[in-house]
Chain A
């Protein structure tokens, strides 16, 4: 059967069939693998939360080492004592709080009258209660996000940051330990006013020994990512301040 392949109709039919076949194939793959991908994302979130509260496999001053995937589900159960969803003045327990999509909540909160759901994780490590909050903001190229663990006076006990597409070697360094470890011990509250932590240039404290200046040393060449980190801490953690006030009264 000789088909004239130069005819427009042939090209059109070929394109349509091709698209249908490829579309079906990809849809099949996507829905087939979805449960596994979702599970991986869940583990990653648990690893990040645990990392922020200091449950990790870090050794010395080396690289970031999460608790391994096979142990994470158990560790999450052991260390995270409570998961809360804060809605305005009320806080309710919910074991699925860590699955709240902070990005979607942030988008919904822009609509007037929507009460944003804020997840809060209460962990216990070495007999001390830690409160872990998710944060999310903008870096230079794309989203940055993380988790911040504080004690009940809102002094930072650990952080974890991640990013979608910051420049390798510059902004991407926010997920390196030498940057994240600087936050440990920094205060977020001055008396009862919320100050946040600024990623500051020229704070004359490169080793970050001064812990009550509300500043950590910035990364060279990553001004906008650093500002993004400051802004994300300021904006997102501020929403939790009323909860901490009720806690301390």
Chain B
């Protein structure tokens, strides 16, 4: 590949599976539980985090040689907060409905441990291009899990995808509901998100035994 060296490709691809921030590093769980009741907010959250983490990593990486080490955590926090406020304002201006739905969770990106974690662990020690790839990769890894969880929770919990009734109408008993299928209300609640994440971790580890820690 011309643009991406082998190492660069791994920066993007590793967090998608074998070094996934949610399922392997178990970071960013709170938001993964909170916003995945439907597919649409999951995707918006994923896109917002890709933006914040990709750009944030670059900014931190560019400043890595001038940041005074005494206040580096505060500097990182300011960078995340700034980017998050920008995302929040842009959503309010161009996707108002969505920003109401995500309201507090956008603000909570600031506290998403994946972001501070990548700043501290990667961006402070690597160049901007690598940091960008690492940021996008990790955010994608986070987003993939969000979207998988959101897909199952919306499908099984509400019988819809993106709000479309894919399984028929639960009130008028059409489609699958005609033969006695019922939505699982539990899927809409946060505990079920944890269980879905758990199942993903289980599937992933059973397919790749290298991921299992030895005790």
Residues on A lying within 8 angstroms of B by beta carbon are 5-6, 10-11, 14-15, 18-19, 22, 25-26, 29-30, 33, 36-37, 40-41, 43-44, 60-62, 69, 165, 169
Contact = CB atoms under 8 A, between A and B. Distances in A.
Contacts of B121: none
| Size band of the interface chain B makes with A | 20 to 34
Contacts of B210: none
B179 interface: no
Nearest to A30: B89
Nearest to B172: A60
B163 to A, nearest CB: 9
- Is the contact region of chain B dominated by helix, strand, or loop, or is it mixed? helix
Contact of B78 (A5, A18, A69, A169): A18
Interface string B57-94: 00000000011111100110010001001100110111
B71 A11 contact: yes
B92 A40 contact: yes
Contacts of A14: 66-68, 71, 75
B61 to A, nearest CB: 16
Interface of B: 66-71, 74-75, 78, 82, 85-86, 89-90, 92-94, 96-97, 104, 171-172, 189
Contact of B68 (A10, A43, A165): A10
Contact of A33 (B75, B82, B93): B93
B171 A60 contact: yes
Contacts of A26: 82, 85-86
A227 to B, nearest CB: 24
Nearest to A62: B171
Nearest to B75: A18
A141 to B, nearest CB: 11
Nearest to A60: B171
Contact of B104 (A11, A25, A165): A165
A11 B171 contact: no
A135 to B, nearest CB: 19
Nearest to B85: A26
B69 A33 contact: no
Contacts of A61: 171
B96 to A, nearest CB: 4
A83 B78 CA distance: 45
